[in-house]
Chain A
Amino acid sequence: MTTAIRAKGAAKTNVDKFLTLLRVLLIGAISVGLLAFIAQQIDPGNAFAKWTHDGQEANRLTGEQFKGLIVSGLSQGAMYGLIALGYSMVYGVLGFINFAHGEVFMVGAFTGFIMSNKFDEAGLWEGGAFIPTVLFTVLIATLIATGLAVLMERVAYRPLRGSPRLIPLITSIGVSFFIQNAVILLFGAGAKSYPPNPDWLQDDWILGIEGVKIVVIIVAAISMAGLWYFVERTKTGKAMRAVAEDKEIASLMGINVNRTIVTTFAVGGAMAGIGGMLWGLLFRSVIATTGFLPGIKAFTAAVVGGVGNLGGAMAGGVALGGAESLAPLTLLEPLGISGVSQLRDAVSFVLLILVLLIKPTGLFGERLSSDDRA
């Protein structure tokens, strides 16, 4: 934020020039890639496409394939968004990034794995009892994730309240490793499979989109709407926002600040728990390190959307999921880069850098409460 102010006022420093160059280069590369993609969609044999593909014609994407990419990006992004909410809320209230939040998501997915397999053995997973069973499983997974998040706050973060915020941040990395290894100790290091979903969930519902992906997107949207209502419309939600902005005055209003912080962790944990369960239904496999990469991606999503802004977290998640899904094939492949799918993580972090370069507060970011307090 300070750099933005300085850039407008004072003369440009070399750093500013470098950043400007970086912005121009990144945007330039994206434009060239996109133009090349459009060109090869229109004519796979155009001169540029032949040049980048060693004299071969490029491959054109069909509409079906394009749709597949979008839907997969959306469902993946919806999960990033659900996890990102927890990062964003805790940052808003306590001003630090809880890196162990990805593990809450993983524990949600693991709980789903254990329960779904137990129900499958009892014959309740497939067939008519699927919906009530899955709802019950979601409920338990959410409760356990919520409990874990609350426990984390009580044991690891509350004793550090008031210390410089780098300290809880580093603690959260430790908590993350602890939970990962505890899960390895309890359940082993190998990948664990969910039982197969009923056929109707795997079938195409509308527009040739797999049912399970529609479910993921809808459940994520409902959860997000519920959270929005909770934060914006209920008394507890208002208290939460008041605590995020000014803890001292919030307590002057009679708000119990500690309890509100616990509520924040609980709600973030619940979102991650739901996300974990959706992950299980979509990919049907979970491993002790499942939380790591989605956690980092969700953190990225929270930053892209503007940390502390809930709508931004969700939008950032969807933007990131979409970019990961689409960018390798629409921006990189037309430039003749091989093995583009391996570069998807690079794509998402370049996106993060780009957003921070252009709008340091994120897409929907605003001045943060910490600026007022300091």
Chain B
Amino acid sequence: MDALIEKLKGQIIEQLNLAEVKPEEINPDSPLFGEGLGLDSIDALELIVLLEKHYGIKIQDPKDGKTIFQSLRTMAEYIKSQGKS
């Protein structure tokens, strides 16, 4: 799980152009949206693209994104649950 979280950190920083964020600054349990990383609605759509591009996972209902993208850990757990790590 930890290895997957570390990998995700790098992918998120790259995909979302978080140039000023260092991987070690992202707490796997803090919220990705609002406070925490401060991502917005376009970032949420990009995370859907990221899952498809790197893990072959298609989120059919974007509303599911809300629970999946709560934190890095929930995201990693979701990828595991899809058997795609």
A and B are partners in one complex rather than unrelated chains:
no
Interface residues of A, Cβ cutoff 8 Å to B: none
